[in-house]
Amino acid sequence: MARFVDRKSELAALERSYHAPGFQFIPVYGRRRIGKTRLLQEFIKGKEAIYFLADSIAENDQLKSLGRLMGEYFKDSILEEAGFSSWQQLFRYLNEKAAERMVIVIDEFPYLVNSNKATSSIFQKGIDEHLKDGNIFLVLMGSSIGMMEKEVLFYKAPLYGRRTGSLEVKEMPFQSLYEFFPGKNFDDLMAVYTVFGMIPAYLEKVNPELDIIENIRHLILEKGTFFSNEAEYILMEELREPRNYFAILKAVSQGKRKPSEVINETGLEKSHVSRYADILKQLGFLKKEVPVTERNPEKSKHGLYGIQDRFLTFWFKYVFTNRSRLEIGKSNHVETLIRDCLEQDIAHAYEDVCREFCLSLMAEGQLSFTSLGRWWSRAEEIDLVALDEDSKTAFFGECKWCNKQVGVNVYEDLIRKSNQVEWKLDSRKNRFILFSKSGFTEAMFDRANRENVLLVHKDRLLGG
């Protein structure tokens, strides 16, 4: 079994629900490869628990498999041989057998729904008639976000009113990379993060003995590898006709972030782009970012699209765009392109890491803010802006991924740009934070000490 990394907050949430009295029903969801199964395997260690992985087979076969599993667990040879004949029989059996707290995990619940569209309603009835007054801790897991929302999470879903909580498993924080690759330095980790993101199943494939280009070559560019069709596999699981969705994601990966640019690049009508983009956002593949100062983000006309997932960003930018070359084995051109652009890609990814670092500073009590993001106008852009409505403080940050130390000129330019941000101009207090790959000049250190500027070298706070 793969090494278990991080997930402390997710485990804590599950443990809190586990120790709550009475019946508990927790839907656990998140995109494929995100680590849901490994999380639940860790959670059920040392507990009375049954884990069942559903499959794309007929309902009767699912019931027999689950019956054999439970028969083996309860040492019931008759059930082990015959299995269950119906879901109601399963619920009755659990009600009779599970006197003490017991965890039942059904992984890939959407497969059960595919085999019988009434499954969610059947589970609702089973909970109401047999489980709700007992001690079962029921977990239904799914990788198909659309299906989990339709059947479990939306307020109109059959099981919505029966859940006692829910847990979305997201990508791990950047800092977890230090656990995955204890021998790697920050620069190496940034390269891994930029290409593979924080998806555990992807990180486990990375060979720490090879540099990032060699990993890209062997894992992504060569035909028949785990990653060569990974993006298509994930998207096609959620989308029936992915062609137009792929066109939008490809355009965004190439830097076409404004809705008008996506329309021009794809040739799709405005209404179609808007509809497809909304679906991609709901499924967690696309995001629409607006300046952090926008009062009504949903109605903002300044939104920019971005791909939510770092690996998908990389795959659409380099693999999907160069599919014909890669199919005939001409990966050298693509590899050269990646070598030329990777530092720029890392610079963009570093901005995300800097924002995450600010969240960690807030968790430690060193910063306080109510909103965090970027700011831009037609002519200017600020990498990081954190606003605190309570103290009327605005934090402005610059993220520099380059081989030159950050000097006073960068700081003064940030001050100039901050004066253009129209948020509580007459009453706010301004603070500044600078992030740098290569450190800071002596003059900048002196200025920071005098003016209480926070300086972060890579991912280490130097002072303020």
Which residue, 208, 240, 172, is CA-closest to 33? 172
Instruction: State what percent of residues in the chain have pLDDT above 70.
Output: 99
Q: How far is 191 from 193, CA to CA, in rounded Å?
A: 5
pLDDT, mean of residues 355-384: 94
Cross-strand pairs, 142: 29
Q: Are 17 and 82 in contact (CB under 8 A)?
A: no
What is the predicted pLDDT for the residue at 464?
A: 46
Is residue 341 classed as helix, strand or coil in its secondary structure?
A: helix
Which residue, 220, 192, 194, is CA-closest to 331? 220
Residue with tokens 């019988």: 116
> Residue 406: which residues within 8 A CB-CB, separation 6 or more?
398, 400, 434, 436, 438, 439, 440, 441, 444
Average pLDDT, the chain: 93
Tokens of 463: 């002072």
pTM: 0.90
Given the candidates 1.10.3470, 3.40.1350, 1.10.1760, 1.20.1070, the CATH classification of the domain at 367-463 is: 3.40.1350
Q: Are 218 and 335 in contact (CB under 8 A)?
A: no
Domain 176-344 annotated CATH 1.10.10.10: yes
Residue 2 has pLDDT above 80, yes or no: no
Q: Are 196 and 220 in contact (CB under 8 A)?
A: no
Domain 8-168 annotated CATH 3.40.190.10: no
Q: Are 449 and 433 in contact (CB under 8 A)?
A: no
Q: How far is 34 from 312, CA to CA, in rounded Å?
A: 14
Residue with tokens 């299906």: 147
Higher pLDDT, 298 or 305: 305
Cross-strand pairs, 141: 28
Higher pLDDT, 319 or 149: 319
For the chain, which residues make up each domain, given as ranges? 8-168, 176-344, 367-463
For CA atoms 401, 406, 411, 412, give the dihedral sign: negative
Confidence of residue 463 (pLDDT cuts 50, 70, 90): low
pLDDT, mean of residues 179-205: 95
Instruction: State what percent of residues in the chain have pLDDT above 90.
Output: 79
DSSP for 339-351?
HHHHHHHHHHHHH
